[in-house]
Structure formats: structure tokens, C-alpha cells
Amino acid sequence: MSAYSFSNRSIFERLGLTISRPLPSAIWTALGTLAVPLWATWPTLAHLGSEIPVFEMLTIAFLVGYFVLLFCEPVTEVVPEQSRGDVLAAAACALGLLGSNALFVIAVEYIPPAQANVLSYLWPVMVVGIGAALGLFQFRLLHGVSLALGFTGIIVIAGVGSTVLSPVGIALGLLSGLSWASFTVFRIWQGAKARPVLARGCLISAGLSLALHLSLEPLHIPTLPALLAAVGVGILPLALANLCWDLGVRRGDSRMVATMAYGTPLVGLVILAIFGLTVLTDQLLIGAALVVLAGILTSKTQ
């Protein structure tokens, strides 16, 4: 979900592997598309770990994500005159990560994870609206169409005849997407020279989550399945998905990777259905398809 620059030191070099020639763009594009199934595990893992209090689970997940990214995320040399911007970017990343993930987990207490997932993944369309309002890019007709389709998808998901209609849950799902959309707009504003901040963002988020947990929640000793789910959140959607995404958009066909990423809500629904955590109703599939179509139209204008 985040965009940042990479140095020439790749994950392969960190593993001690030597590549005699640069990998073709198609390889990086394929790696970038792996973010889709990895991101899509988040609703299922969040549900499986739901016995753990929200901020306790996020503390575990962010710490795990930090250590994974500490090994995997490429290292760039900090330039003194840009260090203040790096700190600001890391803080913005932490707020985006913590806000989007915490609000999603809380939303699942009010609405099913399938609905919460689709609502949260309206964030690419939100980026269009916020970015155009701030003058970061020109608002075009397809932007308006994508916004209309996205919000139509929300109405369908929330919609008429639904057995689960919680204004609080719907608002939390949308705010989850807005948190990440705001961070994304901030990174667009920073430009192409923005530095890697995901590992530091996870570490700051872990500290904030721990403080909130100690202040607001009782300590819970999780069962092994719930603990494994929290660890899985840190490894899969938080760390590896975002790393694959960045490598794909930076070194592969960024438009193809971005377009594929809009299929995440549908893949998430399929995983939930496989684990018996949701039923793929016509209403849910139509709403998700509208959100995905909105995202694809958005990518066509970039």
C-alpha cells in the first residue's frame, strides 16, 4: 500500500545471492502482483485473531512486521539535510499504518470482515479525490466516474435489504481506507525521491499500539491459533505485501501492478469464503466489483 524509493541493494543481495545481470521488468511486475494475495489475507487473519484485544494484536503484528522489514527492506544512506523529512515521513507512515489497521479491526466488531475489507479498499479512489482537491494532479472525467462507481459500491454493500447495517461499522471501514489514502497522498506530494520508511513506520506503530494497549485494554494471553494469526498479519499483509508492492511499482510495469492491486477486495472475499467466514452473496460481489472497477478506471488516468 505505500510508495517509497529503493537503493540498489536488493533483497537478493541481502540473502547473499549474486545476480549476474539485471532481472527483466516482467519478473519485478510478477513480484509486485504477489502483493494482492498477501494483502488479501488481512481480513481472514484479523478475524482469526479477533480474541486478542485490538491494540495488543497490532503491537504483535507491527513488531513482527518491523523485524521482517529490517531484514528485507533495502537500506538507503541518510543524507543529513533530508533527515527531518525522513522523520516526518516515518511518522506519517506510522499514522497511516496504525490508523488503517486499527480502524479496520474495530470495524469488524460492527460489520462482517468482508464488508469492512471492501470499504477499506476504496482508498485508491479516495486518493483521487484528495489529490485532485490539493492540486497534485488534474481532475478528469474518469476520476469523477471512478468516484461515483466506488461510492455506488459502498451503497450496494451497505445497502438495501442488508441484514447487517451498522453506520458505525461502515464509517470505521471508510476511515480505515482514508487513513492509508492520506499517507499515500503525502508520499505522492514528497515525490519520486521519497525514502523507505515502512520498517520505521512499523516500529513507531508498535510503540503507539503498545501504549494504547496498556492504557485502554486488559492483557490477554492468546491461544496459539490467535497468536499465529497476529504474527501472520505482521509477516504477510504488513511486511511482505508492501515490500512486493514497492519492488513491483518501482522496477516493473507500475501501471500493470497498480491495476492488479485493485483486485485485492475480491481475492480477500474468496479467502474469507474458503475459511467459511463469509458467504459470497450477489450483493457483496456486485459491490466489490464496482469498487474494483472504480480502481481500474482510476489507474487508467495516471
Residue 207 phi, psi dihedral angles, 5° rounding: -65, -45
Nearest to 166 by CA among 154, 174, 158, 176: 158
| CA angle, residues 198, 204, 207, in degrees to nearest 5 | 145
pLDDT of residue 21: 53
Contacts of 42 (CB under 8 A, 6+ apart): 104, 117, 233, 236, 237, 268
One-character DSSP codes across 66-94: HHHHHHHSPP-PPPGGGHHHHHHHHHHHH
For the entire predicted model, the pTM comes to 0.77
Q: Which three cell numbers stand for residue 216?
A: 485502554
- H-helix segments, 234-281: 241-251, 254-261, 264-274
Q: Return the C-alpha cell found at 233.
A: 498479519
CA atoms within 13 A on the CB side of 198: 32
Determine contact, residues 257/26, Cβ cutoff 8 Å.
no
The tens-digit pLDDT sequence of the chain (302 residues) is 433 333 444 454 554 444 445 677 788 888 888 888 998 898 899 889 989 999 999 999 999 999 998 888 654 334 444 455 677 878 888 988 899 989 988 988 888 877 787 788 777 778 777 877 887 767 677 767 777 777 777 677 665 445 456 888 889 999 998 998 888 788 777 665 667 778 888 999 999 999 999 999 999 999 999 999 999 999 999 999 988 877 776 677 766 666 677 777 778 878 888 888 877 777 778 877 887 777 677 666 55
Nearest to 157 by CA among 121, 119, 185, 187: 119
- Burial (CB count within 10 angstroms: exposed 0-12, middle 13-18, buried 19+), residue 24: exposed
pLDDT of res. 127: 76
Residue ranges per domain, the chain? Answer: 11-300
Q: What is the C-alpha to C-alpha distance for residues 87 and 89, in angstroms, rounded to an integer?
A: 5
Which pLDDT belongs to residue 118? Answer: 77
